[in-house]
Amino acid sequence: MKKCVIIMNPESGKKKKIKSYEEFYDTLRKYGYDTEIIFTESKGDAKKIIQALDKDIDLVISGGGDGTLNEIVAGNMKREKKLTIAPLPLGSTNDVGNMYGLNKSVMENLEIILKGKAKNIDVCFINNTPFVYVACLGDYIDMAYATPRNLKKRYGKIAYILYGIRQLRNKIHRYHIKYKIDGKEREGTYSFIFVSNSSRIAGQPDVYYDVKLDDNMFEVALADVKNKKDMLKMLVLVSTVDVKKIPGITYYQTNNLEIEFLTSPKSSWCIDGEEYKSSSMNYVFKVEQSMKMLVPKENVNKLFEE
């Protein structure tokens, strides 16, 4: 039989209705897998677990949120022989799972994944740290990682709204940066920076209409927002208009970006919903395609070139 390991984060998101983990073993056995479930106990465990797995593992399933998937990808990228991975969303937002067309039923999602296709995917990096779908910086971005876990477990996505209301600021911070894209140097002042490889960001679907996850490129959106009124207006537009057409947003598609901050950021970067702490004023973004992900067939034609 083939070998599968599920790296399970029992603390992800709201409590899911998992009647018995025997369901996982039974379902995977039906698809020809001998399965082991390994539970994480603390942050960083998923990364260590996948790095230590034998090279003959056929599939690694990420049972958790986007942060758990990020850890598994980060650990996988450090392996000499990369393993095929698959997302099984259990978190509060699950942007990656939703982008692929997965729903709220854990066992249904497991079957959808196992019937899926293994595709080469782009893995992006910020200063050699990998991220799956987004690296972003700006006010309120910290909601993704600073919202208390007990609120997320109790209220799910609503927890971010509750926490965000409490964190409302009177002033939007703006950052003066120099940046280089494909060798061309530019300069500007921006409030929000998004570097992504996803059609869905922060729970918002179809942020970009034509994203491909295997084109060796990522999307860059630099937003100049001066106050909360402009920010709310831009958020409304993002839900109705292609980002590339919104006034105040500078858009690029590239595989080579360098950013130098001329004023120190007031908050940390957020990558895949988790805090990325760095005191650097310089950031280099790149992309690699050296890993396979087992994804549902539903959106393969929409999200992949090959």
Q: What is the pLDDT of residues 33-64, one digit of tens each?
A: 999 999 999 999 999 999 999 999 999 999 99
Fold of 129-288: Tumour Suppressor Smad4 (2.60.200)
Tell me, what's the pLDDT at 62?
Answer: 97
Q: Where do runs of H (alpha helix) occur along the chain?
A: 22-30, 45-52, 66-77, 95-100, 106-114, 143-146, 149-155, 158-166, 228-238, 300-303
Per-residue pLDDT at 207 exceeds 60: yes
282 or 235, greater pLDDT: 282
Topology match between the domains 2-122+290-303 and 129-288: no
**Res. 297 pLDDT band, cuts 50 70 90:** very high
Mark 212-245 as b/e (b = at least 16 C-beta within 10 Å).
bbbbebbbbbbbbbeeeebbeebeebbeeeebee
Class of 2-122+290-303 in CATH? alpha beta
Cβ neighbours for 173, distance < 8 A, ≥ 6 positions apart: 138, 139, 191, 266, 267
Q: Domain segments of the chain: what residues?
A: 2-122+290-303, 129-288
Contact 58, 114 (CB under 8 A): no
Q: Is the four-CA dihedral 175, 140, 271, 295 of positive or negative sign?
A: negative
Query: Which whole number is the average pLDDT over 197-208?
Result: 83
**Res. 15 pLDDT band, cuts 50 70 90:** very low
Q: What is the pLDDT of residues 106-144, one digit of tens each?
A: 999 999 999 999 999 999 999 999 999 999 998 877 666
| Average pLDDT of every residue of the chain | 87
Query: Which whole number is the average pLDDT over 221-238?
Result: 85
Tell me, what's the pLDDT at 147?
Answer: 57
The closest alpha carbon to 274, from 12, 6, 8, 10, belongs to: 12
Tell me, what's the pLDDT at 226?
Answer: 86
If phi > 0 it is left, if psi is from -120 to 50 it is alpha, else beta; for residue 272 that is left
The closest alpha carbon to 86, from 67, 107, 69, belongs to: 69
**Res. 206 pLDDT band, cuts 50 70 90:** confident
Tell me, what's the pLDDT at 160?
Answer: 46
Contact 230, 246 (CB under 8 A): no
